[in-house]
Amino acid sequence: MGNALSIIAGVAMAIGAPAIYFDQAYSMVRKKNAAGFSRDICAILLIANITRCFFWIGDRFEIALLVQSLLMILAQLGLLYICIRFRPLTSPEALGESARPLKFWQWKSYWTYLEFLAGYIVLLTFAVLILGRFAWFVATLGYFALGLESTLPLPQMYSNWVNKTLYGFRITTLGGWLIGDTFKVTYFFIKNAPIQFKIFAIFSLSVDLSTSLPSLARES
């Protein structure tokens, strides 16, 4: 019975987080409009989960968490494509008014995003080959990956604040963050995951609660 529950929990952990974004993607495709959803969420999740895969090379945490990262990368690549395909006419790249250095993550072509991610993977590959034998480097990868992922709600909350509305952002995604991070905290402690997972899961849940609930209150 215990093994069965462990397997179920592992499967839920692996597929639950990526599945959160299916409804968001469906909504944008149905409306043919990606307005209201912060594309920076894709940036955070892609960079964080790619880094987490390299972290796994040096610190073999549970396979379920590695599978989760791989599925999340695929899900976010698809979501990013939808965001580019249906971006609003008022987006910075459409207006040519990006204020970011090198127009980071506000590029016009989907291929530019893929080129950036490919370059990041190559950079991490060389870094792991050179420094992967050092425990401090492996730990740093974990802290960076999980720390970055824990900031996930912030770009969307900023977008909501600027737009003064949650329009375009699915409440199911918001609820998924809250439920998912609650599950993560429990799962990581039960499974005795590396300390990076525990620290940033707690931090992420606190960010969810402190930013998401006030946003919902304003919208209601």
Q: CA dihedral in degrees (87, 91, 95, 99; nearest 10)?
A: -140
Per-residue confidence of the chain (220 residues) as pLDDT tens digits? Answer: 557 777 777 788 788 888 888 988 999 999 999 887 889 999 999 999 999 999 999 998 889 899 999 999 999 999 999 999 998 887 877 777 787 888 899 998 999 999 999 999 999 999 999 999 999 999 999 999 999 988 887 776 766 666 666 565 666 677 777 787 888 888 888 878 888 888 888 888 887 776 665 555 555 5
What is the torsional sign of CA 98, 24, 121, 188? positive
Write out the two tokens for 96: 């040519």
**Which one-letter amino acid corresponds to residue 60?**
R
CA-to-CA dists, residue 109 to 6, 68, 87, angstroms: 42, 27, 11
Q: State the pLDDT at residue 165.
A: 60
> Domain-by-domain residue ranges, the chain?
2-219
Q: State the pLDDT at residue 183.
A: 81
- Decide if 70 contacts 17 (C-beta within 8 A): no
**Which one-letter amino acid corresponds to residue 37?**
F
Supply the pTM of this predicted model.
0.84
What is the torsional sign of CA 106, 109, 115, 118? positive
Strand segments, DSSP code E, in the chain are: none
Q: State the pLDDT at residue 91.
A: 80
